[in-house]
């Protein structure tokens, strides 16, 4: 299953690349490109990218007025409205085409599942660096929540490492004020990760922005005690791979799993809520000797 989705990312990369000029008639026929009325194209409500810069859209609209839409939009038949199409990749071009007052847009229609649609939209935005770190994290979280995918599976599908996916999702734990700095581009993902699990994250973020501190200086600042009072030793922050493994095992067992790793040795705890869960765990461990769960 993972291999199939990894192939999706590779195979789609050529389709999503920007073209140097208009497609030849032969290439259009090969891809199945056709002109669709602008009003029959509908945006995807689960599109990872939520913000579009008005000035950049107008700049693209002017280019479209002069040269047309060079790269077809990727669409799928709308899941509920017959005769309409849902945009899988290319919403920015669709928005600019409306500003340019185009009546139609070139599209390629494919039968795609909801999961494939989300993955392809992610691939397109990641290739163009269009997402801020939090938009990226929310997209990963939605795929985990709605489709039960692990960080490793998502990473394989969109060309990212498991640790990158897990770290992106962790950023969603930050206070709203810190997230706003990230969205505005005043803090990088590296700055934000240093502030995870800090009660004074907002205060540190404000100082980092005010003084223009580097990620390294932010990490050092986040290790200091608060208000001059010696802080209690902080629990070691788990790396992204450990957190992803905990998530995978918890999903597999249906129980809370906690891993405490110390340089390759440690403790794995499985918490059960009922005796039935304990019985189920014992059965899993005893019925297939020699095999991992």
Can you give the pLDDT of all 293 residues of the chain as single tens digits? 333 344 444 445 455 544 445 677 888 888 889 999 999 999 998 888 888 888 989 999 999 999 899 889 999 999 999 999 999 998 999 999 999 999 999 999 999 999 888 888 888 888 776 788 999 999 998 888 888 888 888 888 888 888 888 889 989 989 999 999 999 899 999 999 999 888 899 999 999 999 999 999 998 888 887 555 444 444 556 666 677 778 777 777 777 888 887 777 888 888 877 777 787 788 777 765 444 44
Beta pairing class for 104-109 and 265-271 = unpaired
Q: Which CATH code is given to the segment(s) 2-127?
A: 3.90.1530.10
pLDDT at 4: 36
pTM: 0.62
| DSSP code for 106 | E
pLDDT at 125: 80
Please, what is the Cα angle at 144 between 142 and 149, to 5 degrees? Answer: 140
Are 2-127 and 133-228 equal in CATH topology? no
Tokens of 262: 């110390």
268: helix, strand or coil: strand
Return the CATH number of 133-228, one of 1.10.10.10, 1.10.1060.10, 1.10.10.2830, 2.30.30.30: 1.10.10.2830
d(CA 205, CA 56): 29
Where are the chain's structural domains? 2-127, 133-228, 240-287
Please, what is the Cα angle at 152 between 150 and 155, to 5 degrees? Answer: 110
pLDDT at 36: 95
Query: Do residues 92 and 108 lie in contact, with contact meaning Cβ atoms separated by under 8 Å?
Result: no
Please, what is the Cα angle at 144 between 143 and 149, to 5 degrees? Answer: 95
pLDDT at 78: 95
In three-state form (DSSP H/G/I as H, E/B as E, the rest C), the secondary structure along 32-94 is CCEEEEHHHEECCCCCCCCCCCHHHHHHHHHHHHHHCCCCCEEEEECCCCCCCEEEEECHHHH
Cα R_g (the chain), whole angstroms: 23
User: Which residues participate in catalysis according to the annotation?
Assistant: 91
Minimal CA–CA distance to 136: which of 168, 89, 176?
168
Query: Do residues 105 and 36 lie in contact, with contact meaning Cβ atoms separated by under 8 Å?
Result: yes
d(CA 167, CA 240): 6
Instruction: Determine the longest span between alpha carbons in the chain, in angstroms.
Output: 72
């Amino acid at each position: 299953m993972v291999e199939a989705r990894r192939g999706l990312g590779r195979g789609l990369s050529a389709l999503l690349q920007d073209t140097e000029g208009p497609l030849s008639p032969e290439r259009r026929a090969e891809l199945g490109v056709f002109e669709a009325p602008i009003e029959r194209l509908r945006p995807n409500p689960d599109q990872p990218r939520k913000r579009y810069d008005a000035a950049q859209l107008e700049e693209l609209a002017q280019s479209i007025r002069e040269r047309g839409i060079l790269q077809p939009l990727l669409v799928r038949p709308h899941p509920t409205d017959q005769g309409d199409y849902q945009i899988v990749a290319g919403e920015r071009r669709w928005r600019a085409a409306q500003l340019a007052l185009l009546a139609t847009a070139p599209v390629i229609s494919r039968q795609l599942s909801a999961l494939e649609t989300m993955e392809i939209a992610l691939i397109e935005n990641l290739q163009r660096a269009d997402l801020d770190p939090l938009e990226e994290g929310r997209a990963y979280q939605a795929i985990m929540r709605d489709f039960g995918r692990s960080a490793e599976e998502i990473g394989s599908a969109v060309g990212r490492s498991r640790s990158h996916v897990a770290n992106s999702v962790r950023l969603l734990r930050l206070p709203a004020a810190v997230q706003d700095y990230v969205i505005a581009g005043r803090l990088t993902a590296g700055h934000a990760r240093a502030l995870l699990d800090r009660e004074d994250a907002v205060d540190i973020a404000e100082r980092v922005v005010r003084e223009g501190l580097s990620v390294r200086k932010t990490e050092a600042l986040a290790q200091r005690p608060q208000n001059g009072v010696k802080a209690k030793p902080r629990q070691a922050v788990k790396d992204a791979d450990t957190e992803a493994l905990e998530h995978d095992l918890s999903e597999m067992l249906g129980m809370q799993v906690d891993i405490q790793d110390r340089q390759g040795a440690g403790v794995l705890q499985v918490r059960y809520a009922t005796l039935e869960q304990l019985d189920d765990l014992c059965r899993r461990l005893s019925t297939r000797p020699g095999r991992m769960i």
